Each structure stands twice: as C-alpha cells, then as structure tokens.
Homo-oligomer: A and B are copies of this chain.
Amino acid sequence: MITAIVLAGGVGKRMGMEIPKQFVMVNEKPIIIYTLESFDRHPKIDQVVVVCKQGWADTMWGYIREFGIKKVKWVISGGSIVQKSINNAVQFLSDKCVEDDIVVIHDGIRPLVDEHVLSDVIVKCQEYGNAVTSLPYNEQIFIKETEKTTNKYIDRNTLRRVSTPQAYKYEVLHDAYDEAISQNIGMVDSAYTNTMMVDLGHTLYFAAGSDKNIKLTTTDDLALFKAYLREKEL
C-alpha cells in the first residue's frame, strides 16, 4: 500500500494573492488539482490524504469532485507550520498504514511532478528505506555575510538540492515525528521531513529530480507553469 500526503496549507504571501496559492486558478483549474492529477495518474499510488489550511476543506472537496480526482480519501487540517501539517497527516494515518508501507510526501504547489520522478522515489524507498527527490546545482551558492553582501561560497559539487516528492517507510516516519515533536527537534518554520530526519540522525537516499518540478511560489513561477501547460497542449 502506497499512500501520498499532499500538502495544501500554504498562504500565497509571496504571490501577493488573497487566496492560498494552491487554489490559484490556471486555465480554470486550481493548481492543487494539477498536482492531485499527477498522483491519480501514477499506477503505484493507492490513496492520497490532502492536508489543507483550516477552513478550506469544503472548497478542497468541492474541487476534488468537480475535477473527478479519484485517489483522495481524506482531507485533513494542517498546522501552523509545514512540519506540523505533515505530522498531522502522519498521526492521522496511524490506523491506515502498516510499518513497511511507503508514504510519499509532496508539496501541493509542485504540480509538474513527473511519473518518472514519483517512480524513482518509490523504487529507491523500497530499496533503501527512504528517498528524497534531488538535483545537482548549476548556480553558485554563496553564504550571506549580511542581507546585501557575501564574501564566502560553497563548492556546489558538494551539495544537492532536495525537494519533494520524498518517500519514507511509515513506521520510521511515525516514530521520527513522535520523537521530533516530543523533543522539539526539526520543527522550525523552514524545516521539512528531510531536514528533521537528518536532525534525528537518519541518512537520506537521493532519488532523481526534474528541473520541471518547480515549486510555484512567485508570479514568475506561475508564468512558467502556464507556459509549460500551453506547450503540453500543442
């Protein structure tokens, strides 16, 4: 059994919009629905739980029905930060997953997740116990000296950028969140499952990423997404 946790709890501050960015309409379809369609299409995904901003569950269910999304079984409420939202989902799944089940965690505002990216994260998780989508860098990475200046960089060949999807075995994930919550480890605003796992001493395994799998956080990203959709239609 493979379950996906899809996070749809953001607020869209950086896009300067009044509705949460995952509900922004692109070609008359909310961004989150494009994401859920990717999971509906993937043959290995059995069921999906969507973690929503409080007060938006009815809207979410409305869209799920309107666009015929089949694999979403539950819509639950998120927390104040992304880590609390993921934890809510992990706790919620405690009577729905068994220890070796794979759980795939994904950002709702990454609608361009390819089938091969989802497949690789699942296959690698089966092999190694976990897997995180990752890519090398082709830009230089500098350490801020101040908000305006830098005088130090990091060799980009020593780094990889990790995004979602990420896959974990359910029991390990559940135990990790229990430990992290009780000891307040890896629960800051910029944290995610991957950083928390490392904080807890786990080693993570890289899976293949895709440059197309962008996170839609700015209006530039949104323009790229729209452009990409149009290209696909042709």
Chain A residues with a Cβ under 8 A of chain B: 132, 134, 137-145, 147-163, 190, 192, 194-195, 198, 201-206, 210-212, 214-215, 217-218, 220-221, 223-224, 226-232, 234
Contact = CB atoms under 8 A, between A and B. Distances in A.
A35 to B, nearest CB: 16
Given A140-B194, A149-B203, A220 B212 contact: yes
A201 B152 CA distance: 9
A127 to B, nearest CB: 10
Contacts of A150: 160, 162, 198, 203-204, 206
Contacts of A229: 227
Given A212-B220, A224-B212, A227-B231, A195 B139 contact: no
A86 to B, nearest CB: 13
Q: Kindly report how many copies of this chain are found in the complex they form together.
A: 2
B142 A190 contact: no
A149 B206 contact: yes
Given A151-B204, A160-B150, A162-B140, A224 B220 contact: no
Given A150-B204, A231-B226, A144 B160 contact: yes
A215 B139 contact: yes
Contact of A228 (B144, B158, B206, B227): B227
B153 A139 contact: no
Given A143-B159, A151-B202, 9 more contacts: A139-B215, A140-B192, A141-B161, A142-B162, A149-B205, A150-B203, A157-B190, A211-B224, A227-B229
A214 B230 CA distance: 19
Given A224-B211, A224-B224, A231-B223, A203 B145 contact: yes
